[in-house]
Amino acid sequence: MLDTLELGPKTGAAATIIWMHGLGASKHDFEPIVPLLGLPDVRFVFPQAPHRAVTMNNGYQMPAWYDIRTLEPGPNREDAVTIREAEAALRELVVRERERGVADHRIVLAGFSQGGAMALHLGLRHDQPLAGVMVLSAYLVLPEALSAEASAANAATPMLFCHGTHDDVVPIARGRSAYEAVKEGRKADFFPFAGAHQVTGPEIATIRTWLHERITDATLGTSTP
Q: Annotated catalytic sites, by residue?
A: 113, 167, 197
CA distance 49 to 29: 12
Tell me if 66 sits within 8 A of 83, measured CB to CB: yes
Tell me if 196 sits within 8 A of 168, measured CB to CB: yes
CA distance 129 to 224: 8
CA distance 73 to 85: 22
Closest CA to 138 of 151, 123, 152: 123
Tell me if 94 sits within 8 A of 187, measured CB to CB: no
Cα distances (Å, whole numbers) of residue 47 to 1, 50, 195 = 10, 9, 26
> 159 φ, ψ to 5°?
-135, 145
Tell me if 208 sits within 8 A of 38, measured CB to CB: yes
Helix (H) or strand (E) holding 127: none
